Amino acid sequence: MIKVGLLVRLEAKPGKEQAVADFLRGGLALVMEEPDTVTWYGIQMGPSTFGIFDTFAEDAGRKAHLGGKVAAALMANAEELFSTPPAIEMIDILASK
Region 50-69: what's the mean pLDDT? Answer: 96
Distances (CA, A) of 84 to 19, 38, 49, 50, 88: 15, 28, 11, 12, 12
Per-residue model confidence as pLDDT tens digits over 61-87: 999 999 999 999 999 999 999 999 999
Query: The domain 4-92 is classified under which CATH number: 3.40.50.300, 3.30.70.100, 3.40.50.2300, 2.60.40.10?
Result: 3.30.70.100
Distance CA 48, CA 24 (A): 13
pTM of the model: 0.93
pLDDT the model gives residue 37: 96
Region 44-67: what's the mean pLDDT? Answer: 97
Confidence of residue 51 (pLDDT cuts 50, 70, 90): very high
